[in-house]
Amino acid sequence: MQSNAKRPRVVIVGAGFGGLNAARKLAGRDVEIVLIDRTNHHLFQPLLYQVATAALAPSDIASPTRAMFRRDRDITVIMGDVTGVDTARRVVAIRETGELAYDYLVLATGAAYSWFGHDEWAAHATVLKSLEDAETIRLRLLGAFEWAESRTDAAEIARLLTFVIVGGGPTGVELAGAIAELARSTLARDFRHIQPAAARIVLCEAGPRLLAGFPPSLSDYTLRTLGELGVEVRLGANVEMIDAFGATASGERIDSANVFWCAGTEARPAARWISADAARNGAAQVEPDCSVPGHPDIFVIGDAASLAGADDKLLPGLAAVAKQQGKYVAEVIARRIAGRPAPGPFRYHDLGTLAVIGRSRAVAHLGRVRLRGFPAWLIWSLVHLFLLAGFRNRLMVYMNWSWAWFTYGRGARLITGIPPEEESAAPLRDETAQAAKRPRPAGTVLRS
């Protein structure tokens, strides 16, 4: 597929916050835009934990990418898995699709979780980066209570009802708080033989405090609030082992059927594709205008890029950074094509950071303003509703949140599949195997 001779072609890899905003900003600029992503939807990752804990349905936080650009005739959407870039020939390789030529390339491929050299732990712990991950956690989370209800061995019940979260950043804190509220409020009266409120939630953080990117006072509030919710927080707890039956952190063995990994991240292989220098987390080191040294036609943004801010500190892996970089790079490309001066180096405008802990409890760091409790939770709710793509998503999330706030209920608690047969899911796998041997009535449809 060759580049259009009449108009420059801009290829954008990744339909996350960075790629989406770059495409939107370039629309109508007399360029041909091709947006490539491995999925057919844009995902609002900050609310993934709510899908994982049955508060929202997957469709509430994702929108079909193609539908979002239905009216933008300059934008072509391709669902495909990019496997490499030939910078000499200026083509992108897409698995099972072929090669796609570009005049300008924007790599907004995001990040994946890092196992810190222990890739074998991935077989026993579940991450939270995609809709598939969120659905897997939901199945394992709800399934653990269901299996525990039918068990008689106290040790097995305790293991099923123990949930370990590794990582005390925003995702780990939000997931721990949501699981605690699910167990102690939503499921509290649904079972006859177990007490969901007795579920054990253990949050392990290797550092000295939670939410390291927030001021210490907000970290302390978060620690106290999680304690009030019944979450056991282990600070300075380095995870030493994760296996099929739990985890070991700083010498303490925690038997658990479910370990959720929310620790460090590493950039997806954009830097390797273009043979660029990379930081320790694999992010490509870029120029002040987000271009790759030696390749002024290639830009890397978001979690895939390593760039220092005005304070000489590396920019954080936040949606706000990716969005601003996406818009900035689009302006750089548009000006370059039009023969106009460059806009100057990228400057990140920090609008603040937010993290929710539980019902009506959150923390907000907005410059010099530091909020906690209900005011922070209200700001968090309004900001996330505003940032969601599409009116339908905003309406559905608002309705679900309103219903949950008044009733403590969660509307996405259906188990509609079978959790993956991993070693870490031994009790679930054993039950599935036994069920498969039982005779089934004619006409039964099996889900896989």
How many Cα atoms within 13 Å fall on the side-chain side of residue 108? 33
What DSSP line would sit under 55-120, residue for residue?
SS-GGGSEEEHHHHTTT-TTEEEEE--EEEEETTTTEEEETTTEEEE-SEEEE---EEE--TT-GG
Q: How far apart are CA 398 and CA 178, in angstroms?
A: 17
Q: How far apart are CA 206 and CA 397, in angstroms?
A: 33
What DSSP line would sit under 339-387, residue for residue?
TPPP--S-------EEEEEETTEEEEEETTEEEEEHHHHHHHHHHHHHH
Question: Between the CA of residue 189 and those of 194, 381, 414, 418, what are the distances in Å?
Answer: 10, 28, 17, 24
Active site annotation includes 174: yes
Provide the H-helix boundaries in 150-192.
154-160, 170-181
User: From the candidates 32, 135, 174, 266, which is the catalytic residue?
Assistant: 174
Q: How far apart are CA 387 and CA 380, in angstroms?
A: 11
Active centre residues (catalytic) = 174
